[in-house]
Amino acid sequence: MKLLINKQYLEIKEALTYKERLIGLIGKTNINYGMYFPKCNSIHTFFMKEAIDVIGLNENQEIIFLEPNLKPNKLVFIHHSLKKTSILELPNNTSQSLKLGDKLFLEFEDII
């Protein structure tokens, strides 16, 4: 999966299994990709090695939550329906050009 952000494509890995959802970006350094958590309205950054940007999306892929530079050892809960909310964890400072209400376009096919 890819996300067009800042006029560049960023690889996004989808967390589908329990293990993928539990671990996310824990323990990673020099993060150069994002993680997509469908049907998710809370995350933590315990055991993270570096700060990340966190984006909450509604069912229309519009930004309803934006927390750039989220430090390790934090909890985030988005007050929106679990089944209609997704979360993106992105490398730190990736979301600088985004704001609440922006619509993101996740591409699920390979880019040619």
Question: Looking at residue 85, which CATH number applies to its domain?
Answer: 2.60.120.1140
The answer to whether residue 8 is domain-embedded is yes
The answer to whether residue 46 is domain-embedded is yes
The answer to whether residue 45 is domain-embedded is yes
Backbone φ and ψ for 21, nearest 5 degrees, come out as -70, -35
The answer to whether residue 99 is domain-embedded is yes
The answer to whether residue 112 is domain-embedded is no
The pLDDT of residue 6 is 77
The pLDDT of residue 14 is 95
Contact between 91 and 80 under an 8 Å Cβ cutoff? The reply is: no
The pLDDT of residue 106 is 86
Q: Could you report the average pLDDT of every consecutive run of 10 residues in the chain (112 residues)? A: 87 94 93 95 94 96 96 93 92 94 81 46
Tally of domains in the chain: 1
Residues whose CB is less than 8 angstroms from the CB of residue 38 and which lie 6 or more positions away in sequence, other chains included = 14, 15, 16, 86
Model confidence, pTM = 0.90
The answer to whether residue 57 is domain-embedded is yes
The pLDDT of residue 109 is 59
Beta strand pairing status for 42-44 and 75-77? antiparallel
Domain that holds residue 61: 2-107
